[in-house]
Amino acid sequence: MKSLYERSLAVLPPVALRATNLGIVKGDGVYLTSEDGQRYLDFAAGVAVTNCGHNNPKIVAAIEKQLHLLVHGGHNVVYYPSYIELAEKLTKRVGKDYKVYFSNSGAEANEGAVKLALSVTKRNGIIAFSHSFHGRTLLTTALTASNSHYRENYENALPTVYHVDYPDIYNSKLSKHEEIEHCLNELQQLFKNIIAPSQVACIIVEPIQGEGGYVPAPKEFLVELRKICSQYKIMLIFDEIQSGYGRTGYLFAKDYYAVEPDILTSAKGIANGLPLSAVISKTEYMDQWSPGAHGGTFGGNPLACAAGVAVLDIMNNEFLADVRRKGKLFQQGLRQLQQKYSVISSVRGVGLMIGAEFRSVDEKKPLTELVTKIRQEALKRHLILLNCGVEHNVIRFIPPLVVKEAELQTALKVLNESIAASLTK
């Protein structure tokens, strides 16, 4: 019998790149079961989505209950309880006086956030950062600057977005302070030479870059960015699609940094695998977004919202504290491996959003092929790992947040074996 991968070749285009050829029939907790009955420890979580664990029974029960009541209502047609309940619970958790608009995907939320900023400010300028990833629709492709391949052949259809350097203190030759100064100076040069701040609607930033390499921004940088945005009445958008929903041990990374954006976008973990995303902003801005200026057929689907309510019920303070604790333990384990393998040039991250970068010891060249080998070796040992970074030389560790300490230790053990096997090849 043909495998799912083999069957896919005849009917699926190559455009949807897959990290593995695995055919998966079942998920539970941190494990996936393949079509040939093998169990895999999943440190990818569908790219940081199934934060509460695959098929979490409480979330499955909430979806099942909703399934028998209403599958689709259409938020442009009617109101339904799961939508309102999630909006109430989520805005309360974000802070005082927020409103939320639900859509389906991360890219759609970022589109919504930029549209909100353009609407409110009545300005046109959009600024994003080098190595950022914000999605694959045309606007979000224009925002993205982590890989020229994403833009290839689409350039003519992309709206204008200005990019400035994002501080990467892990690879910069400058000191942390100088690196931050350099990036802020680039922004000031942009204002001076290309677009005046009075013309800029928004600056969109990932507080911790995801695809770009799991690079946390230094707090001082985000604090300065906040000040600059307030000074020029530019709306600061935090793209928390990957860094949000408990990943960092905080509901959103903004709470880790204690920096408040004007608009926050969320997706991925928000409904633990059902398609849902959110644009969240202060009431004073949301109330200026006129009826019909944004919308969509499926956004805030009843099943997805019911799952979203269950997710928030699970992600209480105790749950988040445990993520922070486990994140520290895992980083300690990775640092021990770093002592042993000098090709690990840095270990960084917040909570369970952790990256390990691989570079050659002398020249500090990115070790992209080595990372590919390590991931293959790990897969042979039934551990699923993803890479990231503009050079694809960073392994990211993003297990479901319900991962147990013993499973973290297993992953470290497999990683140790996989690095050793890859280095001797």
Ligand X SMILES: Cc1ncc(COP(=O)(O)O)c(C=O)c1O
| Interface residue list for ligand X (CB under 6 A) | 47, 105-107, 110, 133-135, 206, 210-211, 239, 241-242, 267
Tokens of 251: 């509901």
We find the least distance from the C-beta atom of residue 175 to ligand X, in angstroms, to be 27
Q: Which is nearer to ligand X, 179 or 239 (CB)?
A: 239
The amino acid at residue 282 is K
Gyration radius of the chain's alpha carbons: 21
Tokens of 61: 């029960």
We find the least distance from the C-beta atom of residue 382 to ligand X, in angstroms, to be 24
Q: Which is nearer to ligand X, 210 or 389 (CB)?
A: 210
We find the least distance from the C-beta atom of residue 142 to ligand X, in angstroms, to be 13
We find the least distance from the C-beta atom of residue 89 to ligand X, in angstroms, to be 21
Q: Which is nearer to ligand X, 49 or 86 (CB)?
A: 49
Q: Which is nearer to ligand X, 75 or 134 (CB)?
A: 134
**Residue with CB nearest ligand X?**
106
We find the least distance from the C-beta atom of residue 396 to ligand X, in angstroms, to be 11
Q: What is the dihedral sign for C-alpha 232, 127, 242, 117?
A: positive
We find the least distance from the C-beta atom of residue 336 to ligand X, in angstroms, to be 29
Q: Which is nearer to ligand X, 94 or 267 (CB)?
A: 267
We find the least distance from the C-beta atom of residue 324 to ligand X, in angstroms, to be 21
**Residues near 30 by Cβ (< 8 Å), separated by ≥ 6?**
41, 42, 43, 53, 54, 399, 400, 402, 403, 404, 407
We find the least distance from the C-beta atom of residue 420 to ligand X, in angstroms, to be 31
Neighbours of 218 (CB within 10 A): 18
Q: Which is nearer to ligand X, 121 or 141 (CB)?
A: 141
Q: How many angstroms separate the CA atoms of 130 and 147, rounded?
A: 10
Q: Which is nearer to ligand X, 266 or 418 (CB)?
A: 266
Tokens of 37: 């009955």
Q: Which is nearer to ligand X, 129 or 341 (CB)?
A: 129
